[in-house]
Chain A
Amino acid sequence: MAKHRAELLVNLVIALALPAAALTAWALGESFYVSLVSRVAILALAGVGLNLALGYGGMVSFGHAAFFGLGAYAAGIFAFHAFDGTPVISWPIQIMGAASMPVGWLAAIVVAGLAALAIGAISLRTSGVYFIMITLAFAQMLYYLAVSIPTYGGADGLILYLRSGFPGLDSSDDLTFFALCYALLMLAIFITWRIAGSRFGMALRGASRNEERLAAVGISPYPIKLVAFCISAMITAVAGALFAELVGFVSPTLMAWKMSGEILIFVILGGVGRLYAPIIGAAIFILLETLIGGITDRWQFVLGLVLLGVVLFARGGVMGALTGRARHV
């Protein structure tokens, strides 16, 4: 029970650390650091998405960058057409572009959900190391498509001239934008928590541990995993849509395999299957990148050593070190 309370405390600290950091930076007039904290929140959100598949469903997806990128493109394309005054699609029904964040998020969710359904349907027929490599290969396929198809800029990417609006709020204000990202992050964590505690969540964990036993009680693991995979992809896609609004730019590199690796790192660094872990993971990653990157061009070397050290000697990630081994995985 003490362990449980420790985790609650750590979670609370993590949850409050982000707004505290953002407000401090804002009070000091350092708008760069406000957007840096927004970046952490967004990447953490991508990690929360992956964590649902990975931490609760045992699906090691090495292709979540595809959903991150698809989400970014979905939001970007809607904003692009709004600026252009042209429809996104004109057949079978006409859908006009819209420079509105909720529309972008919805588009991201729909597109990523459909993509995850297709990718998941094939990939989930396999398991273990096959699943890792197949998700990687599918993401790579989407990356090459994004690079080579000229309509939305290809490798050059797509510029969003203005940040899309949010009804009733000034989304171009850095602090307001952070608040939006943070709210979505907390919402996603809440959703994950609800799923984990539901009958569906129990079945999902059962599927990740012992498929045969689950099948024996009359539950087929495949549809459960597929649904979880799709929800996971949708959350990561919303992160992608926010990322597009943050940087004002979408490009295929968001789908590159290194991005998939980084989203995995956020989760593992924090602690697989822990609700709040992706926030710690993303924060540490961004901190390392910013700090070491300011000191040496060889920052990737140092980053590699740090990550290797974490895997070899600090199993369970930071959360594991703070509160003991995870209960799920």
Chain B
Amino acid sequence: MSAALIIEQVLNGFQLGVMLFLMAAGLTLAFGVMGLINLAHGSLYMTGAFVCAWVANATGSFWTGLALGLLASAAAGAIIEILVMRRLYDRDHLDQVLATFSLILIFAEGAHWLFGSRPLYLNIPDLLDGAIALPGGGGYPVYRLAVIGVGLVVAIGLFLLITRTRLGMRIRAGESDREMIGALGVNIRTLYTLVFALGAMLAGLAGVLVGASQSVQVGMGEPVLILAFVVIVIGGIGSIKGALVASVLVGLVDTLGRAFAPSLLALALPVQAAASVGASVASILIYLLMAVVLAFRPQGLFPTHG
């Protein structure tokens, strides 16, 4: 096990974490500001990827696809906020769960209808193709570094948005007291639509970035949605800072578990069994992490009022 391999795996874990943060940010914002639990967040992720792939195939340009993918997921977010979510803010979480569960079914079959049943083609832009050398040998894909970069930029952008801008101020006000912000004369409906669309766009961004290096297919949003849930539960629901820390933590634990659990187990077990058992252990590590965190901090690492 060389140092280069460990560096590479840590980078991989970091990249997965950054990806999860893009998903978790929207979820945690929707909860923090509107008190909404949104299972259909994965569908918005899928929307971004599908529209980007479709446009990129039609126009030959990844960047046009990216722009329209972001636009489409933000628009889809705004539309479902206006048509559905708005009616759910003062309902209990149960109604929100069922309504957004229904949206998953509608989005999944809708995507089938519009885009066909075969997975779509979406590749990374030529600009980001290639690998750079890591210290200690081996190369690392430029694209993955770019994803880490984008994720960090978004994270910084979100912090600035929330701490330094008027919109951010309203979001923070909305988090702490919903009635007060209405009394201040802020148009709360527009604010909610904006926040939801912003979260949707971040999910769409994650979908595009992931779609380019994974597969663009119906159902792609579901596994990542559950991971994002684990992230925001660990981080503390409603906390952007918590989401960021927990994303990176989950990304690292998951990746390093997959990478090293089998070889660690191989010290104690036959190689064949270690490969199989190691894979099983790796697949539940993040859930164990969640259980441990919650056993000590039931409100997550960075509790909010929620």
Give yes or no for direct A-B contact (beta carbon below 8 Å).
yes
Interface residues of A (CB under 8 A from B): 54, 60, 62, 122-123, 125-126, 128-130, 132-134, 136-138, 140-141, 144-145, 148-150, 257, 261, 264-265, 268, 272, 298, 300-301, 303-305, 307-308, 310-312, 315
Report if B298 contacts A (CB, 8 A).
yes
Given the known inter-chain contacts A122-B294, A148-B283, please indicate yes or no for A301 contacting B95, CB distance below 8 A.
no
Partner of B306, one of A129, A148, A307: A129
Given the known inter-chain contacts A125-B298, A126-B294, A130-B237, please indicate yes or no for A137 contacting B102, CB distance below 8 A.
no
Report if B290 contacts A (CB, 8 A).
yes
**B97 engages A303 (CB within 8 Å):** no
CA distance A120 to B287 in the complex (A): 15
Residues of A within 8 Å of B237, CB to CB, are 129-130, 133
Listed A/B pairs (19) with beta-carbon separation below 8 Å:
A60-B97, A122-B294, A126-B298, A130-B233, A130-B237, A133-B229, A136-B229, A137-B230, A145-B280, A148-B279, A257-B222, A261-B101, A265-B101, A272-B94, A303-B105, A304-B105, A305-B106, A310-B98, A311-B88
Report if B184 contacts A (CB, 8 A).
no
A63 to chain B, nearest CB (A): 11
Given the known inter-chain contacts A132-B37, A136-B226, A145-B284, please indicate yes or no for A308 contacting B99, CB distance below 8 A.
yes
CA distance A305 to B108 in the complex (A): 12
Q: Which of B50-85 contact A (CB under 8 A)?
A: 84
Residues of A within 8 Å of B110, CB to CB, are 301
**A257 engages B37 (CB within 8 Å):** no
Given the known inter-chain contacts A300-B105, A312-B84, please indicate yes or no for A62 contacting B280, CB distance below 8 A.
no
**A307 engages B97 (CB within 8 Å):** no
Residues of B within 8 Å of A132, CB to CB, are 37, 93, 97
Given the known inter-chain contacts A133-B232, A307-B102, please indicate yes or no for A264 contacting B97, CB distance below 8 A.
yes
Residues of A within 8 Å of B280, CB to CB, are 144-145, 148-149
Report if B8 contacts A (CB, 8 A).
no
Partner of A122, one of B88, B99, B232, B295: B295
Residues of A within 8 Å of B226, CB to CB, are 136-137, 140, 257
Report if B9 contacts A (CB, 8 A).
no
Residues of B within 8 Å of A308, CB to CB, are 84, 99, 102-103, 106
Partner of A300, one of B87, B99, B109, B284: B109
CA distance A269 to B206 in the complex (A): 34
CA distance A265 to B104 in the complex (A): 14
B54 to chain A, nearest CB (A): 19
Residues of A within 8 Å of B300, CB to CB, are 130
Q: Is the interface of B mostly helix, strand, loop or mixed?
A: helix
Most buried by A among B37, B105, B110, B279: B105
Interface residues of B (CB under 8 A from A): 31, 37, 84, 87-88, 93-95, 97-99, 101-106, 108-110, 112-113, 222, 226, 229-230, 232-233, 237, 276, 279-280, 283-284, 287-288, 290-291, 294-295, 298-300, 306
Residues of A within 8 Å of B295, CB to CB, are 122, 125
Residues of B within 8 Å of A141, CB to CB, are 284, 287-288
B183 to chain A, nearest CB (A): 26
**A60 engages B298 (CB within 8 Å):** no
Using A304-B104, A312-B87 as known contacts, list a sample of 20 further A-B pairs with CB atoms less than 8 Å apart, ordered by residue number in A.
Answer: A60-B93, A125-B295, A129-B37, A132-B97, A133-B230, A134-B233, A137-B229, A140-B226, A144-B284, A145-B284, A149-B280, A257-B222, A261-B101, A301-B106, A304-B103, A304-B106, A308-B103, A311-B88, A311-B98, A311-B102
Most buried by B among A54, A138, A148: A148
A137 to chain B, nearest CB (A): 5
CA distance A268 to B97 in the complex (A): 11
CA distance A315 to B95 in the complex (A): 9
A222 to chain B, nearest CB (A): 11
**B287 engages A307 (CB within 8 Å):** no
Residues of A within 8 Å of B105, CB to CB, are 300-301, 303-304, 307
**B98 engages A130 (CB within 8 Å):** no
**A307 engages B279 (CB within 8 Å):** no
B284 to chain A, nearest CB (A): 5
**A60 engages B94 (CB within 8 Å):** yes
CA distance A44 to B287 in the complex (A): 30
CA distance A132 to B108 in the complex (A): 22
Residues of B within 8 Å of A60, CB to CB, are 93-94, 97
**B294 engages A301 (CB within 8 Å):** no
Name the residue on A nearest B285 (C-beta). A141
Residues of A within 8 Å of B290, CB to CB, are 134, 137
Residues of B within 8 Å of A261, CB to CB, are 97, 101
A186 to chain B, nearest CB (A): 26
Nearest 8 pairs of A and B residues by beta carbon:
A304-B105, A301-B109, A141-B287, A304-B106, A307-B102, A308-B102, A148-B280, A125-B298
